[in-house]
Amino acid sequence: MSDERSETEAPRPTEQPIATSDEERGKRSVSKEDKKAEKLKAKAEAEAAKAAAKAEAEAAKAAKAADDDDKPRLRWKKKELPGGLWLKCEACGETIYKKTLLKGDLVCPSCTFHFTVPGTERIQMVLDEGTYHELAADLEALDRLNFTDSVSYAEKSRRTIERVGLKEALHLGTGEIEGRPVVICVLDFKFMGGSMGEVVGEKIALGCELAAERNLPLVIFTSSGGARMHEGMLSLMQMAKTCAALDELNRKGGFSICIMTNPTTGGVTASFASVCDVTLAEPGALIGFAGPRVIATTLKQELPKGFQRAEFLLTKGQIDAIVPRKDLRHTLARLIDFSERAWSEGESA
């Protein structure tokens, strides 16, 4: 920086011809003033540049700090090791035998990091064996906007369906939790990041209607990157639609629980995931609207430690409780009993 400044100041002539006439003397004083102004201007510019660089460096530092803080858990994708028998925990780096991880409900045995659970496994984990009955499994997305990035949305959907073996990102059905019948919705992160398009919105609404009709509690599990951008405005409309459906269920005396799991972000956090009667989260789950890096660079300030993690959100009142995976079934069963008692007592009162 100091080198630059000396360069801008350098062209100042050191030898001035001696003025002989008044005119020349006047000229000389004018040029002297000009030079003085120029020098001041250069100095001010250099200082402004210095300040801008400092602010930029500080923002980068804050972003890096937020990044480092979140590093262990930001990456939720499973990194598989060759052979497919072992994988590495994204949080602590421990090498885990895959069968051990599966036996332990996809929770790291050394640091208790809760891996993202695919929809089918989640249903097996939460519901009583053999009770799941899937509904509206054939609903498929329509490419109404003819959206194309590298490939068309229709083509992308087709390929995802083929690869994942699911028609959409949400599993809807009925089942039992410790003998209590429920309507269940599970977002599946492996289908286009669990993103919410028209079908996800429709299935949540169907789930609400079914819960009201059969007088059953509605249990929703979320893991999502947010609204599905390929559906543009139509995906954003699902935010209003799902909230309206849950509101209708509430008016009819229904009961809903949402369990936010790692990661729940964007339009899903900003709609149905946040408006159920009870909002639970799994330990360490990333829950937010925009990503922490975007927020840090926009605000140009350091984010608090643990920002957008379940534990942080619990202290802010965004969620009601954090429930470890092994306690989920029992906690859900207790909450369902509680809601039924509250409802029947409310009716008799």
Given the rule CB under 5 A, which of 82-90, 159-167, 252-260, 275-283 is the region that contacts Zn ion? Answer: 82-90
Give whichever of 98 and 167 is closer to Zn ion, judged by the CB atom: 98
Given the rule CB under 5 A, which of 93-101, 146-154, 246-254, 255-263 is the region that contacts Zn ion? Answer: 93-101
Give whichever of 228 and 325 is closer to Zn ion, judged by the CB atom: 325
Give whichever of 68 and 138 is closer to Zn ion, judged by the CB atom: 68
Asked if 89 is part of the footprint of Zn ion (rule: CB under 5 A), the reply reads yes
Helix axes 2-9, 22-74, angle to 10 degrees: 160
**Nearest-approach distance from CB 311 to Zn ion, in angstroms:** 16
Helix axes 232-251, 198-214, angle to 10 degrees: 10
**Nearest-approach distance from CB 176 to Zn ion, in angstroms:** 32
How many chain residues are in contact with Zn ion, going by CB under 5 A? Answer: 7
Given the rule CB under 5 A, which of 13-21, 36-44, 106-114, 123-131 is the region that contacts Zn ion? Answer: 106-114
Among 46, 62, 65, 111, binds Zn ion (CB under 5 A): 111
Given the rule CB under 5 A, which of 50-58, 87-95, 125-133, 315-323 is the region that contacts Zn ion? Answer: 87-95
Can you say whether residue 346 is alpha, beta or left, with left for phi > 0 and alpha for psi between -120 and 50 degrees? alpha
* Tokens 């036996």 belong to residue: 103
Give whichever of 91 and 106 is closer to Zn ion, judged by the CB atom: 91
C-beta separation of 171 from 120 below 8 A: yes
Given the rule CB under 5 A, which of 81-89, 117-125, 134-142, 171-179 is the region that contacts Zn ion? Answer: 81-89
Torsions phi, psi of 144, nearest 5? Answer: -65, -30
190: amino acid identity, one letter: K
Footprint on residues 152-211 left by Zn ion (CB under 5 A): none
Footprint on residues 250-309 left by Zn ion (CB under 5 A): none
DSSP code string of 71-82: HHHH--S-EEPT
**Nearest-approach distance from CB 90 to Zn ion, in angstroms:** 8
**Nearest-approach distance from CB 62 to Zn ion, in angstroms:** 27
Interstrand relation of 256-264 and 218-224 (parallel, antiparallel or unpaired): parallel
Torsions phi, psi of 12, nearest 5? Answer: -70, 120
Cα–Cα nearest to 16, from 2, 4, 28, 3: 28
Footprint on residues 120-159 left by Zn ion (CB under 5 A): none
Given the rule CB under 5 A, which of 34-42, 112-120, 124-132, 285-293 is the region that contacts Zn ion? Answer: 112-120
Q: What is the 3-state secondary structure (H, E, C) of 127-151?
A: CCCCCCEEECCCCCCCCCCCCECCC
**Nearest-approach distance from CB 338 to Zn ion, in angstroms:** 33
Cα–Cα nearest to 332, from 209, 226, 175: 175
* Tokens 């780096």 belong to residue: 93
Interaction pattern, residues 2-41, with Zn ion; x per rule: CB under 5 A: ----------------------------------------
Asked if 92 is part of the footprint of Zn ion (rule: CB under 5 A), the reply reads yes
Q: Which residues does residue 187 pair with via DSSP β-bridges, in sequence order?
A: 170
Asked if 108 is part of the footprint of Zn ion (rule: CB under 5 A), the reply reads yes
Cα–Cα nearest to 8, from 35, 31, 33: 35
Q: Which residues does residue 130 pair with via DSSP β-bridges, in sequence order?
A: none
* N residues, the chain: 349
**Nearest-approach distance from CB 89 to Zn ion, in angstroms:** 3
Asked if 72 is part of the footprint of Zn ion (rule: CB under 5 A), the reply reads no
Residues binding Zn ion (CB under 5 A): 89, 91-92, 94, 108, 111, 113
